Chain A
Amino acid sequence: MPATPALSYEAQRRRFTRMAIAPSLLFLLLVAGLPTAFLLVTSLTPGSLVNPGSLTDFREPLANYQNLVTDKRFHETLWVQARLSLYTVVLQVLLGTGMALLVHSGQDRWQSLRHLFVIPMVLPPIVVAVIWKLIYTPDISPIFHTAKALGFMLPAFTSHADFALAAIVVADTWEWAPFTYLMVLAALQNLPGEYVEAARMDGANALRVFQHIVLPYIAPVLMVCTLFRLIDSIKAFPLIFLITGGGPGSVTEVTNYYAYLLAFNYGELGYSSAVTVVLLSITVVISWLAMRLNRNISHQD
C-alpha cells in the first residue's frame, strides 16, 4: 500500500485555517444565511399571514418582483430613502468633522466637550426617537413655547410636508454625527505634528494647512465614515416609526418602513420579502463598493 504523501507546509496551514474558521462559518450560516435564504424563498411566493398555504405556492415565482416594477409607492420610498441618505450622510460627515477639528484644536472649552459629543450615539435609538418626538410636538416642546413667547409661530415640523423629512434628517444627524466625530478625531490624533509645524513655518494659514495637510490625511477615514453611514442610513427605522409614521402622506416613508407595513399591517409576507430582498441587494452593492474603494485607498497609501 503506497504511503500517503505528506502535505506541504502551505497545504497544512490552509487546512488548519479552514478547520479553525469552520465553526464560525457554520454559526454565521445558521444565524444569517438561513434567514436570508428564507427571505429569498418567501419572496418567490404570494405568502400571506392569513393564508398559510400561500407560503409554499411557487406557481408564479417572479410575480412579486413584477409588481415591484409598477408599484409607484415602492418607487417613491426608494426616492425618499435616497434623499434621506444623501442629506444625513453629508451633514453627518461635515458636522462630525467640524466637531473633531474643534476638539482637536486644543482649546480647553472644546476639549471639555469631547465626551459630551458622543452621548447621542450611545443612546438607544428608540430613546433618541422619543427625545425628538418631544422636541417636535408643539404642545409640549420648549422650542415651540419659546417661539410663541417671542411672538412667532413655528410650523409643526413632523406633519408639514416641507419640513417632515428635514425633521428626520436633523434627528438622525444629531444621533450619528458623533460617529464621524470619533473616527476623524482618532485620525487627527495620529496626524504627525511636524507636518503642520513645517507648513506653518512656511507661512501657511489655517485654511491652507487644512486643505493641503489635514484633509488629505483624514480623507481615507472620511471615505470610510461616508460609506458606513450610507449603509447604516438605509436602516433608519425607529425615528420614522415614532416621529412621523412615514407621513404626512408618504413624505418620510422609506423602503424598510414600507416593507414593515406590508408584512405586519397588511400581512403580505411574500411581497414584503421581495421589497426587503431588493433593499438587501442595494445594501450589498453599496457594501461591495465600500470595500473595493477602501482597498483601493489602502493600496494608494
Chain B
Amino acid sequence: MSFTEPKDLSRRQLLRAAGATAATAGAVMAFPAIAQSKKFGGVKLRGAAYQHGFFNHLKKYIPEFEAATGITVDLQLSAFPVYNQQADLELSSGGSAWDFCNVTFIFAARWVAAGLLQDLDTFSRDTKYTPASWSPDDFVKGAQLPYMDAAGKTYGYAWEGGAMLMGISRMDLMKKYNLKPPTTFEELGKVAEAMHGKDDMAGFVSSNLHHWYLPPYMQGFGGDVFANPPGDITPTLTTSAAVEAVDFYTRLLSKYSPQGVLSYTEDQARAALIGGRANINIHSSSWVTSMLTAPESKVKETALVMRMPAGPKGDFPASNSQGLGIPKNAKNKEAAWEFIKWALSPEITTRIVKDTGHSSICRRAVISGADHKRVNTINGQDLSKLYLEVLEQPGKTRNYMAYRTVKEFPVVSDVLNKAVERVVSGQMKAAESMKVAQDAAVDALRRTGARV
C-alpha cells in the first residue's frame, strides 16, 4: 500500500478512516491523562465526599472513566457534617476503607500536619504517572495552599474554590439615595447605616460563621489571628487592630443586621439577601452570586457582586477550597490517582463548566477561558474575573490565609465565634471579649500541646 496512490482508496474507506481518526482523537481528548491500556482493570475504588453539586455532575461522567480504565468507582456522598466526622475518624484511625476522599478545608491543616494523607507530588510531578499536560501548577495557588505542608508538598488538589466577595442586593435603592458601592470599611459602615430600615430592609446580613468573616477585617485593620502562622501560632486577639475589627464587625451585626442574626445559618443569610430583605452580604462567591443566578432570587435585576471592601491597612478577602486526596493507608493509591487525575483534568473540568454551568472550579486556564467567562458573565458582571482575583490574592501577596493552615485553628475559630457573640449580645465590649478570647485560646492551645 502506498500513500502515493490515492486513487486506490474508495470513498467508503476514506470515510471509515476519517471516522476512526475522529473517534481516536475524541477519546484522546476526553481521556488525555489516562493510560489507555486498562492497567487497573478490575480494580474497585472506594471514595467518599460530601454531597455537593460538583460530585453530582461528576457522577454523570464516571461511566466514561470506568469504561476507559476498567476501574469501578464507588463514590459515597454524605451530608457535610456527617462526612466530616466519618473522615476525621477514618483518617485518624489509619483506616484503609477509602482509596480517595474529600479533603475538607476546615480539617485540611490538621490532616496534612498529622501525615494522614498521601503526598500527591509523587504522582502529579512524575511523568510516569501524569503527563505534563495535566499541569499541576494550573491550580490556583490560593486554592492549593490549604493542601500543602510547610515543605511545599501537595496532599490534595482543589475541586472547588470559594472567594469572599461582596453582594449588594438593592443597587436601585442605593442609587435612589445617592450611595455608591463601598470600597473601604469606612464606606461599608456608612452604606450599611444609610440603607438600614429603607424599604423594610436590613443594611447588612451575615451568618454564624464568624471565624470565616472576621479575619479579613482583622487583617484589614492591620492585625491577624496568629503572630506568624504557621510557625508562630501565638494568638494575637488583643491587638488594637483585632479589637478594632471586632468592634467594627459586631457593629454591622448588632446595628444594621436583621433581628436574631447571631443565630442565622448561611441559608438564612442567603435567603435574606436574595429576597431583598438585606442589602449587603460578604461571603463566598457561590453564596453571594446566587443573587444573580438563583431562580428564586427577587433581586436579579438590581444586584451587584464586587470585591469586598478593603481596610485601612490593606485588602485581604478570604478564600477557601475543597480538595481531593488519597488517605495514607489507601489500598489502591495508583488507581485512586488515576481517578483524581481524570476528575480534575482540564478536559473534564471544562466539560463540567460547559455542560452544567458549575463555575467554582480551581484550574486557572479553565477559569480564564471563554466558556467560564460566558457562563459567569451575568448582567454584564464578569464573575470569573472577580473569583480568580480573590483566589489568587494570597498567592500574589503574603499568604494571609496561612492562619487557616494551622492545624489548631478549629480551637481558635470557636473562641472567635464566641467572642463575636458576646459582643453582639451585649455581654461584653469588644476589648473585654477579645481578652477573654485570647486567654481561652492560649489555654486551649497549650492543652493541645501547641507551643504558644
Q: Which A residues form the contact surface with B (CB < 8 A)?
A: 46, 48-52, 67, 70-73, 136-139, 144, 153, 156, 158-161, 164, 243-245, 247-251, 261, 264-268, 271
Contacts and interface: CB of A to CB of B under 8 A. Distances in A.
A161 B424 CA distance: 9
A161 B414 contact: no
A159 B260 contact: yes
Given A52-B94, A247-B418, A161 B427 contact: yes
B410 A248 contact: no
B197 to A, nearest CB: 13
B260 A138 contact: yes
B447 A248 contact: no
Interface in B417-452: 417-418, 421-422, 424-427, 440, 443-444, 447-449
Contact of A248 (B93, B110, B259, B422): B422
A264 B87 CA distance: 11
B92 A244 contact: no
Interface of B, secondary structure class, is helix
Contacts of B259: 138, 144, 153, 156
Contacts of B263: 136-137, 156, 158-159, 243-245, 247
B111 A247 contact: no
A71 B443 contact: yes
B262 A267 contact: no
Interface residues of B, number: 40
A144 B426 CA distance: 21
Contacts of B24: none
Nearest to A46: B449
Q: Which 7 residue pairs across A and B have the least CB separation, nearest first? A: A156-B260, A159-B262, A50-B114, A248-B425, A248-B421, A249-B422, A49-B92
A248 B85 contact: no
Given A71-B443, A138-B259, A159-B261, A249 B427 contact: yes
Given A159-B424, A247-B263, 20 more contacts: A50-B116, A51-B114, A139-B268, A139-B272, A153-B259, A156-B260, A158-B260, A159-B260, A164-B425, A244-B263, A247-B418, A247-B425, A248-B422, A248-B425, A249-B418, A251-B425, A264-B88, A265-B414, A267-B92, A268-B447
Contacts of A251: 425, 427
B89 A49 contact: yes
Contact of B208 (A160, A245, A264, A271): A245
Nearest to B444: A266
A138 B410 CA distance: 30
Contacts of A49: 88-89, 92
B104 to A, nearest CB: 13
A250 B448 contact: no
19 contacts: A52-B93, A73-B440, A137-B260, A137-B268, A156-B260, A159-B260, A159-B421, A159-B425, A161-B427, A164-B425, A243-B263, A244-B263, A245-B208, A248-B425, A248-B427, A251-B427, A264-B85, A266-B414, A266-B444
Interface in B256-285: 258-263, 268, 271-272, 277
Contacts of B258: 138-139
B118 to A, nearest CB: 16
Contacts, number: 98
Contact of B421 (A48, A153, A247): A247
Contacts of A67: 447
B113 interface: yes
B262 A247 contact: yes
Contacts of B447: 67, 268, 271
Interface in B40-96: 85, 88-89, 92-94
Contacts of B89: 49
A4 B306 CA distance: 94
Q: Which of A49, A161, A268 has the most CB of B within 10 A?
A: A49
Given A71-B443, A156-B263, A248-B262, A48 B208 contact: no
A50 B111 contact: yes
A238 to B, nearest CB: 14
B262 A156 contact: yes
A17 B113 CA distance: 56
B411 interface: yes
Contacts of B372: none
Nearest to A158: B263
Given A161-B425, A245-B208, A271-B447, A265 B410 contact: yes
Contacts of B411: 266
B363 interface: no
